[in-house]
């Protein structure tokens, strides 16, 4: 499995409430995406946003992280994003 961490600056003045509304609006786009196991949305008061994605494979992640997807995110939030990939050999799930 692969964990991808996506980070991007948000426009100045973006509040947690603003980010939550934008993230909730985009959440349906990630339902039933092939290879995506889970996605967590991220926010900090810098402000910056992003997501932590758990993928079945790097190929599944790359099928989503296209140049068009990156341009869409940059256009939506007004900034370039950074994607970090990490191997995920073990998961502990306490749910």
9-19 core/surface letters (b: 16 or more CB in 10 A; e: else): bbeeebeeeeb
Rounded to an integer, what distance in angstroms lies between the CA atom of residue 35 and that of residue 55?
Answer: 6
Residues 81/70, Cβ–Cβ less than 8 Å:
yes
> Average pLDDT in the 43-68 region?
97
Task: Label residue 59 by pLDDT band (50, 70, 90).
Answer: very high
CB 54 within 8 A of CB 3: yes
Residue 44 is predicted with a pLDDT of: 97
Please give the CATH topology (third level) of the domain spanning 2-87. Answer: Alpha-Beta Plaits (3.30.70)
Q: Note the pLDDT tens digit of each residue in 64-78.
A: 999 999 999 888 888
pTM: 0.92
User: What does the alpha-carbon distance between residue 89 and residue 8 come to, in Å, rounded to a whole number?
Assistant: 26
């Amino acid at each position: 499995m692969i964990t991808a961490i996506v980070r991007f600056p948000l426009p100045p003045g973006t509040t947690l409430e603003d980010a939550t509304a934008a993230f909730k609006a985009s959440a349906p786009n990630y339902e039933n995406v092939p290879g995506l196991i889970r996605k967590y949305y991220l926010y900090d008061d810098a402000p910056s946003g992003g997501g932590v994605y758990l993928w079945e494979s790097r190929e599944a992640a790359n099928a989503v992280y296209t140049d068009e997807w990156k341009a869409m995110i940059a256009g939506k939030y007004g900034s370039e994003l950074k994607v970090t990939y990490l191997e995920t050999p073990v998961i502990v799930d306490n749910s």
